[in-house]
Structure 1
Amino acid sequence: MSEARRQEEKVPIANPGAGPKGEKKSSTGKIIAGVLAVIVVLGIALGVGLGVGLKKHHHNDATSSSLKPGNTSDIHNVVSRPALLGDLDRWQGSKRNFVISSTPTTRTFNWTIDQALAAPGAMQKPVITINGNSPGPVLEANLGDRVIVNVYNNMTNETSIHWHALKQNGTNYYDGTYSITQCGIPPKGHFTYNFTVQDVGTTWYHAHKAAQYTDGLIGPIIFHSPNETAMTANKYDDEYTFILNDMYNTVSTALEWRFTAVGTGIDGQPGDEPSPDGGMINGVSQSRCAYIPPSNLVIAERRRDFDGMQNKVSQRKRSDTTGTLYPETNYCGNLTTDYYNVTLVGNSTYRIRLINAGTFTTTIFSIDNHNLTVIEADGVSIEPYVAQSVELAVAQRYSVLVKLDQKPGAYWIRNVLGTDQLRYTGPLFNESTFGVLRYEGTDTAAIPADLPAPVVANGTQFGTMTKFVPADKLDAPQPTNQQNVYFNMQYTANNQHYMFFNSTSWTPLPPGQMALSAINTTTASNTSFIANNIGDQLNYINPSYGVFDLVVNSQDDGDHPFHMHGHTFFVMSQGDGHFYGDSSSFNTTNPMRRDTILIQSYGHVVLRIIMDNPGIWAFHCHITWHMEIGLLLTLTNLPDKIAQFSLPDDLLANCKVNAQNGW
């Protein structure tokens, strides 16, 4: 492979306690007891209007085939790391040869979703791929383009793809939110997403079914505006995309099963979220193999299903068999790990697009000795803001300008996980994941100097994010409605833990059902029918155009990244403690806008949302484990207009198939 294609650098794994050049990795807390079974369905359902929560459905059960780790009877192929990563040139703008244009066109993408065994780090595990790769292909288009994505599901369980941050105005049924706007693409089934690009900037797509995106069903979206480089501050020579995320050696279904098990939790403490084994940069991880010898195994009830590829919701049982929490065979083998390597041209300025496609933790991105000038946050262009590192909550995106003005050589690229969110860490936890940036002409074997990690500063700490100022000025309108919600974690009488919005906890609808079809067959004047037929979760119904202030107060001791589907909101307030004020004190002059925001421990946000986009839109914590236990509500906008939607034939056909098969 040529230098331009970035040779992979092998990293020995004999010394798991040290990073490059001996940099110490942190390992704190308790030891993870890691491999379990079975998917807990991540669907999305609704409930009664105007914030009144009704009774909850029981959380659906699921089962899966009793396969041990490494059993490939339900996995279609075993792929090497280079094959899994695919063409690395796709991450660099100039090598994609994409033409930015103001003339709309139709762009068609054909994707096959499949499952494979691969080793992103030092342990082979089941992964989910698109056209054989994980992360998947770059979805790139211009404002006004028509995008058609034909998806074939070659897996043994259903799936859906959500186009994160896309407005989907008029096409709510292509939002890809399982159990709300889609029943899911059945096994061996297909579905066509067909929408017009209404947004610009950096975002991503991911599965919105269970924790499938934890296993690799993710990819970048780049939508261009014809004038995106018109501002002098945004001038750059080329661009590069980094997908950053946390990495789990254990398949997500096993982690879900243990996390939601009655009375035990992943580490013996109910409510403690599964902690990652390390991080990733564009699919490359230095996670160590987490195999534990049989003498150290912990015993617990669970299904023997480590491949995690089946999901039959109605049949799950919680005590089918007894077995170990770790693999019974060493699947580590002699696998090594890699640095992510990139060679760029010195004395050039690059737009670096950053995406946190993680499951749980924040990530802190930096390039040694190089400043980062932030110019975009969640698709919103902002006035340039200089930082040494940038912290991204799960699902957030930033664009930064990086000028390669240092001495030619090699420099560390760092993806550092936010360990303050973790209740425990595994025995070989890697806090930092490294890439190597080499200036063109530098020896491809050159390793960077051993420098201390940069201090988190300037635009990366909580609170300073609100200093961002949108470059495209837009004042916030006055609200017509305000709703207050509180969220926390609670335990049921049988010691199961769920997360609640105003005493309601989200669960998916039964197989083959979606909330959108219920609204589509009624009207706003018949809200009792809506409430009685689309679930028992917290659902705010907005029958007419308006401006909605959503006040979200945390009663939980952790930080939570919340995402709003279908809308970009104004950030009116963000800070410590609960909000008890009123909107008269807010600054309405060009406040920050975004679609994903971090609510700190026991803190609050006030989000102003223009309710002009008809559809059923999820608002949820983007920590996958929290969605799995109910931290989601919905906004139903303009139900009379929803009733006029002509739902796609393949959408309804897939619902029928799923209902017939119990998927």
Structure 2
Amino acid sequence: MAYITVFVALLIFLSEFVQSYDFIDNNRSAAGSNYVKLNLNLTVGVGAPNGQTREMIFVNGTFPGPNLIFDEGDEVEITVFNQMPKNTTIHWHGLEMKNTPWSDGVPGLTQTPIEPGERFVYQFTASTAGTYWYHSHSRMTMIDGLYGSIFARYDVLLALATEKAIFEYSDALADNDLTRPSSQAPAPWHLISNETEDIKAMQRAAADPHLILISDWSRFTSEQYWETIKDTELEIFCVDSILLNGHGEIYCPPTGFLVNQTLPVMQSLMGNATVNDKGCLPFVPAVESIWLPLGHPERIPKHLQEGCVTSSGGVNLTINVDSREQKWINLNWIMASTFKMVQPSVDEHDMWIYEVDGSYVVPRKFQALSLSAGQRISAMVRLDKQPGDYTIRVPETGITQVMSAFGTLRYNNGNPSRSSRPHVQYGSLPAHGNVDIYSPWIPFTDNMPPFPAHDPLPQLADEEFLLSLGRVNSSWSYTMVGREMMPVDWDAYHPFLFYPNDPDSFNEQLVIQNSQRVLDNPNWRYTWLTSFGEPMWMVLRYQVTNPGPWLFHCHFEIHLAGGMGMVILDGVDKWPPVPEEYRTHLDPSRPRGPPLAKNIRTFSWLEALRNKRTGFD
């Protein structure tokens, strides 16, 4: 397979690249598989997840959408019913969609939009175990609440989730054989602790993690937010709350407190200015660039950029644990934000990071960790403290706003009268001198190599490309190739996957072409986050193992809507043929996707030991 090097010259402030799918083929396989069928019903209604009422999207009547639990290797069929008054699609973030690119959920690239009153059937294999999530990929509607968590369980971990299995395989556990989720991915528990009881406890925790989906939340809908950006000619990043699994509140500390909590790097961008009563960064040249004088802040609706109003009725997340039964728990952090970076921590507890973006890494111990849009980080936490309540703190750390979310880790029914000692402050600064923070901007902490180590890569790549990121005519309009920007819904009804030679579906300016060779010294990364404040560059490298058209883009919604995205055509000589049942969805008189009558279910040898069924959690 060909190796590709992409050289990205980043010329603007706060451009955040987060890959929306795995480039890496871990070659995992399951001992057996199920055929899992689920329905997702999308509706619009009124809700108040932070105590503030607004119109929002519900998935099967819930927000966030239900957790989707699969087993490694499961064949999955999900029918999405769109009962909203707007087009939509759903993208399965991080799942590789190998041999099924038509289920990747990108309108205009792999499918047509799911129109109001219609349905679409997604079929794919949960081929790689790990933590993932799903979300809207149509305009900016993710801001309205269309997202949820996905966990694909390691097949062997399912067997180890019961005491019976652990007893029967204790010898194998001691030899570290059954810590392998598949033949290619041994688990790194022994690098956290070499005690057999700890390894058993971590196995149990890994099989049944606490999924914590983090999102940012505004009282304004996606349409209102986007229209304000276009009307004011300003990039706006201000929100009202950070939510944990859809729970949260609006906090309005005194402005003086927010000023004192401002990160030094954030203050350096503002000069003599300060954050406002919502903790939001003022409009400065470092963000708006040369277009700042053309902006119209007076057109911003009240309460969007400033005017903090506390809410009533919001409830924070509580995670209940019993340290008498559990020695370790697994916290799987999923960053479903549209604008923000955050820095989760649990008072008085360490977190051992062992999985990043669905793949094992060599574990390292931290007290806090940074997450940007689209990222997932899994961490083991030892339950070795006194019974009580320990605050979960999730401050914003992306230098656009001073704000925080809170939750509770409750031991053995808790002790609310006891105050726990924090690792980080409201504005994300360390609260004491012994805080190690995982951050992609700190090379030492970001040095978390894959586990097990991958084979050395060839010194030279087969192809190399240069991308130059910049802005076009305004602070919010972007280009990744130095050329024109296409509208948000460009030719959504001529998916490129279906019509690769159709001029209506192809724009060569938005596709990585083999025309420029820049570097011959590529490096290895999983997910990428740029620096800020000055021009910079990075080199990304991957191996083409998954033929299809894929969207390479920033995961900040306003950046993607503004044009910060382009198409990568991988393995064009080996694209899988599009099934006829997917082609028929272009006929509006026929249902979209394959027929619903298919109902197959097989069982692996581990079925009798499973402590959970696949499907909705």
Report the TM-score, using the length of structure 2 for normalisation. 0.69
The residue type equivalent to 1:599 in the other structure is T
Superposed displacement of residue 536, structure 1: 5.2
In structure 2, runs of 5+ residues without a counterpart are 1-5, 8-28, 158-178, 181-186, 193-198, 254-297, 592-617
Match status 1:183 vs 2:120: no
2:408 aligns with one of 395, 416, 436: 436
Looking at structure 2, the residues matched to 101 and 446 of structure 1 have their Cα atoms a distance apart, in angstroms, of 47
2:498 corresponds in structure 1 to 517
The alpha-carbon distance between structure 1 residues 245 and 168, as it changes in their structure 2 partners (threshold 3 A), is same
CA deviation digits over 1:285-335, x for unaligned, max 9? 212599xxxxxxxxxxxxxxxxxxxxxxxxxxxxxxx9983499x998973
Looking at structure 1, the residues matched to 439 and 337 of structure 2 have their Cα atoms a distance apart, in angstroms, of 17
Q: How many residues align?
A: 462
Looking at structure 1, the residues matched to 466 and 45 of structure 2 have their Cα atoms a distance apart, in angstroms, of 44
Looking at structure 1, the residues matched to 445 and 478 of structure 2 have their Cα atoms a distance apart, in angstroms, of 27
The residue type equivalent to 2:457 in the other structure is A
Superposed displacement of residue 538, structure 1: 2.0
CA deviation digits over 1:483-517, x for unaligned, max 9? 111102231xxx57411112232433235232222
The alpha-carbon distance between structure 1 residues 245 and 482, as it changes in their structure 2 partners (threshold 3 A), is same
Looking at structure 2, the residues matched to 467 and 452 of structure 1 have their Cα atoms a distance apart, in angstroms, of 22
Superposed displacement of residue 461, structure 1: 5.0
Looking at structure 2, the residues matched to 431 and 647 of structure 1 have their Cα atoms a distance apart, in angstroms, of 50
Match status 1:339 vs 2:316: yes
Structure 1 segment 91-490 matched on structure 2, within 5 A: 102-227=31-156, 229-230=179-180, 231=187, 232-233=189-190, 235=199, 236=202, 237-238=204-205, 239-261=209-231, 264-265=232-233, 270=234, 272-287=235-250, 325-326=301-302, 335-346=312-323, 348-420=327-399, 422=400, 431-443=403-415, 446=417, 448-449=419-420, 451=422, 453=424, 455=430, 457-462=436-441, 463-474=443-454, 475-477=456-458, 478-490=460-472
The alpha-carbon distance between structure 1 residues 277 and 404, as it changes in their structure 2 partners (threshold 3 A), is same
Looking at structure 2, the residues matched to 432 and 407 of structure 1 have their Cα atoms a distance apart, in angstroms, of 26
The residue type equivalent to 2:471 in the other structure is M
The alpha-carbon distance between structure 1 residues 470 and 323, as it changes in their structure 2 partners (threshold 3 A), is closer
Looking at structure 1, the residues matched to 418 and 388 of structure 2 have their Cα atoms a distance apart, in angstroms, of 9
The alpha-carbon distance between structure 1 residues 340 and 654, as it changes in their structure 2 partners (threshold 3 A), is farther
Looking at structure 2, the residues matched to 381 and 204 of structure 1 have their Cα atoms a distance apart, in angstroms, of 17
Q: Is contact 1:506-1:633 (8 Å) kept? A: no
2:290 corresponds in structure 1 to none
Looking at structure 1, the residues matched to 51 and 251 of structure 2 have their Cα atoms a distance apart, in angstroms, of 5
Superposed displacement of residue 194, structure 1: 0.8
1:20 corresponds in structure 2 to none
Superposed displacement of residue 275, structure 1: 1.5
**CA root-mean-square deviation:** 3.3
2:528 aligns with one of 597, 606, 628: 597
Looking at structure 1, the residues matched to 73 and 236 of structure 2 have their Cα atoms a distance apart, in angstroms, of 41
1:632 aligns with one of 565, 590, 593: 565
1:608 corresponds in structure 2 to 541
SS of the residue aligned with 2:497?
A: helix
Superposed displacement of residue 165, structure 1: 1.4
The residue type equivalent to 1:253 in the other structure is E
Q: Is contact 2:52-2:311 (8 Å) kept? A: no
The residue type equivalent to 2:559 in the other structure is H
The residue type equivalent to 1:325 in the other structure is P
Q: Percent identity?
A: 23
Superposed displacement of residue 452, structure 1: 6.2
User: Relative contact order, CA 8 A, sep 6+: which one is greater?
Assistant: 2
In structure 1, runs of 5+ residues without a counterpart are 1-49, 52-99, 291-321, 523-528, 543-547, 552-579, 659-663
1:534 aligns with one of 488, 492, 506: 506
The alpha-carbon distance between structure 1 residues 470 and 452, as it changes in their structure 2 partners (threshold 3 A), is closer
The residue type equivalent to 1:471 in the other structure is F
Q: Is contact 2:358-2:376 (8 Å) kept? A: yes
CA deviation digits over 1:598-654, x for unaligned, max 9? 011233221112123221101001100000110001111233433732253476337
Looking at structure 2, the residues matched to 112 and 389 of structure 1 have their Cα atoms a distance apart, in angstroms, of 36
Q: Is contact 2:584-2:590 (8 Å) kept? A: no
The alpha-carbon distance between structure 1 residues 141 and 218, as it changes in their structure 2 partners (threshold 3 A), is same
The alpha-carbon distance between structure 1 residues 537 and 616, as it changes in their structure 2 partners (threshold 3 A), is same
Looking at structure 2, the residues matched to 409 and 280 of structure 1 have their Cα atoms a distance apart, in angstroms, of 23
Higher mean displacement: 246-255 or 624-633: 246-255
Superposed displacement of residue 195, structure 1: 1.0
The alpha-carbon distance between structure 1 residues 464 and 154, as it changes in their structure 2 partners (threshold 3 A), is farther
SS of the residue aligned with 1:188?
A: coil
Q: Is contact 1:518-1:533 (8 Å) kept? A: yes
The alpha-carbon distance between structure 1 residues 224 and 203, as it changes in their structure 2 partners (threshold 3 A), is same
Q: Is contact 2:103-2:124 (8 Å) kept? A: yes
Superposed displacement of residue 411, structure 1: 0.6
SS of the residue aligned with 1:363?
A: coil
Match status 1:618 vs 2:551: yes
SS of the residue aligned with 1:259?
A: helix
The residue type equivalent to 1:470 in the other structure is P
Q: Is contact 1:506-1:537 (8 Å) kept? A: no
Q: Is contact 2:347-2:420 (8 Å) kept? A: no
Looking at structure 2, the residues matched to 370 and 386 of structure 1 have their Cα atoms a distance apart, in angstroms, of 10
Looking at structure 1, the residues matched to 405 and 587 of structure 2 have their Cα atoms a distance apart, in angstroms, of 40
The residue type equivalent to 2:574 in the other structure is K
CA deviation digits over 1:236-273, x for unaligned, max 9? 14321100122212111100111123xx23xxxx3x22
Looking at structure 1, the residues matched to 309 and 105 of structure 2 have their Cα atoms a distance apart, in angstroms, of 36
The residue type equivalent to 2:546 in the other structure is N
Looking at structure 2, the residues matched to 644 and 541 of structure 1 have their Cα atoms a distance apart, in angstroms, of 22
The alpha-carbon distance between structure 1 residues 498 and 250, as it changes in their structure 2 partners (threshold 3 A), is same
Stretches (4+) displaced over 6 A: 330-334, 654-658
The residue type equivalent to 1:514 in the other structure is P
Looking at structure 2, the residues matched to 189 and 460 of structure 1 have their Cα atoms a distance apart, in angstroms, of 43
Superposed displacement of residue 107, structure 1: 0.8
CA deviation digits over 1:535-555, x for unaligned, max 9? 35420257xxxxx9x99xxxx
2:609 corresponds in structure 1 to none
Looking at structure 2, the residues matched to 655 and 359 of structure 1 have their Cα atoms a distance apart, in angstroms, of 32
Superposed displacement of residue 343, structure 1: 1.1
Higher mean displacement: 445-454 or 635-644: 445-454
SS of the residue aligned with 2:102?
A: helix
The alpha-carbon distance between structure 1 residues 465 and 163, as it changes in their structure 2 partners (threshold 3 A), is farther
